[in-house]
Structure formats: C-alpha cells, structure tokens
Amino acid sequence: MIPLRIKVEANADQMFVVRLRSFEGVTREHKAGQLTPFDVVLDRVGPEGAHYVGEGGPIRILGIDPANVDGDVLLVNPRRGTADRLIRSSSRHNTFLVTERCDQICLMCSQPPKRHHVDLFPYFETAALLAPEGATIGISGGEPTLFKAQLFDFLERVLSVRPDLSFHVLTNGQHFGEGDREAMSCIDRGRVVWGIPLYSRDPVVHDEIVAKAGAHEQLLENLAIMCRLGAQVELRTVLMRPNADGLLKLASFIAATLPFVRTWAIMQMENIGFGRMNWKTLFYDSSEGFDIVGRSIDRVRSRGIDAWLYNFPLCTVPEPYRSLAPATISDWKRAYRDECNGCSVKDRCGGFFEWHPANRGYSKLGAIQ
C-alpha cells in the first residue's frame, strides 16, 4: 500500500503545513519568485534521511524516497514525529478527513465514527491552496456537515483564491436547510459535487442501514433543498443484501422523482470497519447476481441520468456495462489478485480493495482475454 503517513523530524512545537520541493524545477521557480513560505527545498539526501530547508525551518523525511514525495503537501506533527500526506502531487486521489464524528452508524461503514474531533480546517485550507493546478480534492468524515459553518467558509475561501480547484464532498445529507441558501450562494456550485447516499426507496430499509430513525424522510426533504439551491448531487447507493432486491424500485424512484441529480453511483462495499464485522450478512455477490444491477442502471439511463458502477472489478461486470465501471478505488488502497495476471483490461480496471477477502468475496473472477 502507498503510505499516507510518513516519519519526520522537525524542530517545532506545533503542527504546520509544508510542501516538499526537490532540486528539479526549483531553480526555475525560484527565479520566477514562485516559492511560497510553505515550501521547503531538498538540501541533501543521506543514510539518515532527506533534509529539506525553507522559511519554516529544517525538516527531515525518513523512510521514503524523496522522489516519491516531490510536490506533496504535508501536515507535520512534530511531537509525534509523523506527517500526513494531505496532497500527493502525483495522485488524483486526495481526500481531507475533516472529522471522525458522525450522527449515523451505517452497517457497512468503512470509517466507524469516533466521539472526539480536532478542528483542522485552517491546515486543510493552507494545503488546498498549495494543491496542483486543476486538482479535485475529496472532503470526507465522519460527517463533514456536522461542522457546516466551517465547511462552507472553507469552500468559499479556497475557491475564491483557487477557482481552478474542485471539491467532492461526501455527506449523509441530513443537515442542509433553507437557511443555507446565502452560504451556498457564496460557493462556486459548479466546482463542488455533493456525494449523498440513498440506500433504498423503502424508508424502513434505508433507516435500518444507517441506524437512524427518520433519516430517509429527512434526506428526501434535504435533497429537494439541494435541488432548489442548484447544488450538484451525486447520489450513491452501496449495494448490499438488504437493499439489492429493491434496487429496481429505487432506480424507478430516482428517474421519476430525482431527475436533477448529476449522477447515480451503485457501489460495492469495503471489507473494513463495520463492513468487515457485517460482511457475511451484507456482501452482495454481483458477479452472480448482476441482472438486477444492470436493469436498474438501464432504468435511470433511459431517463437521461448518468449512472455508474463504483468499486466493481471489471471481470465481475458483463461486457456491455464495463464502460460504466471506472477505476474508482483510491490508488493507496487498490490491489490486484493472482486472477488478474494476463487480463487484457487490467490497466483500466480499479481492481480490489487491499482488504477484500480471498475466500468470501466474488464467486466468479478471472482474467478477461
């Protein structure tokens, strides 16, 4: 796996943000006056690590080739001797985990909620402003809109300075209201996509999955608000045994009632967190039961709504639908199995989650010739 946290040594007491620069290209940028106070430049590399210098003081990176972190934006915690790679310059999979608190306890949650919260929005803002041109940054949790005011302010400020950036915000959609109209109007809505889950047309099924009574009703009210606010909505449905039989009814509901959504994503689940605990009762083997998935995709697409398959290995998807299954698993947690050897479409397949079980997953796998 690609490490998202690396070891560092820094002479500081408080956390800080830096962007790593190697010698390559720095001379040109320095002449142009483009190095910022947050940039640290590679000074030397030795057995004791890679040494960087800059206005923020010296910092030493341990255990990783500096070529692999060139241009990365780090949140350094000197007391712990670690740094989180908030922005990996060579990757399109960069996400800010803004909180671990959540007001839902979803059966398949890959990031089980925690009670504590540390406000890191100022650091995230600095990191976003240092991101490569045209980057898309994910916002995740927990539930980011539990801190809605800070989130809206963050998006407004960053996009006012960096209109080239885009954000993809994952939220349960429970906390929007008509009172958000003014704050939302200050955000470039064309640069923000809100990924919101709807697991079933049946309120009982949805509420049981998220373990929150009334969540389905509140979600539909708030989706209507998002429509009136002109927000871009990506509707997301994790495919599981409890909701698989009702997928076609959900597709019909989306096509008839929610035509304003930008896209509908049917997603396979992860075998981690609560998903691992509940895997035996939740995992739906779409390699055997794809028919309901295909018919649901066809239903919404016939009404002009884009529909996609997220986290589906291509060999589990019938050929007519493979173009709708992009490589969505983040690079740092993506893996391929022995069955993938010799596959003709491996280079465009998202593969598997690193922690996908070897013996309790898809029953039909194999290299596509």
Digit-by-digit pLDDT tens for the chain (369 residues) are 789 999 999 999 999 999 999 866 555 555 446 789 999 999 999 998 999 998 877 999 999 999 999 999 999 999 999 999 999 999 998 999 999 999 999 999 999 999 999 999 999 999 999 999 999 999 999 999 999 999 999 999 999 999 999 999 999 999 999 999 999 999 999 999 999 999 999 999 999 999 999 999 999 999 999 999 999 999 999 999 999 999 999 999 999 999 999 999 999 999 999 999 999 999 999 999 999 999 999 999 999 999 999 999 999 999 999 999 999 999 999 999 999 999 999 999 999 999 999 888 999 999 999
Contact assessment for residue 202 and residue 245, using Cβ atoms and an 8 Å cutoff: no
Reduced to 3 states (helix: H, G, I; strand: E, B; else coil), residue 107 is coil
CATH number at residue 98: 3.20.20.70
Residues 126 and 212 in one domain: yes
Residues 265 and 162 in one domain: yes
Considering its fold, how many domains does the chain have in total? 2
- Residue 132 DSSP class: P
Q: Is 234 exposed, middle or buried (0-12, 13-18, 19+ CB in 10 A)?
A: buried
Which of 56, 87, 118 corresponds to the end of one domain?
Answer: 87
- Domain holding 312, by residue range, is 94-353
Residues 77 and 54 in one domain: yes
Which of 27, 61, 87 corresponds to the end of one domain?
Answer: 87
- Indicate whether 316 belongs to any domain: yes
Per the DSSP assignment, residues forming a β-bridge with 317 are none
Q: What is the pTM of this model?
A: 0.94
Per the DSSP assignment, residues forming a β-bridge with 21 are 41
Query: 164-199 burial, b for 16+ CB within 10 Å, e for fewer?
Result: ebbbbbbbbbbbbeeebeebbeebebebbbbbbbbb
Residues 235 and 103 in one domain: yes
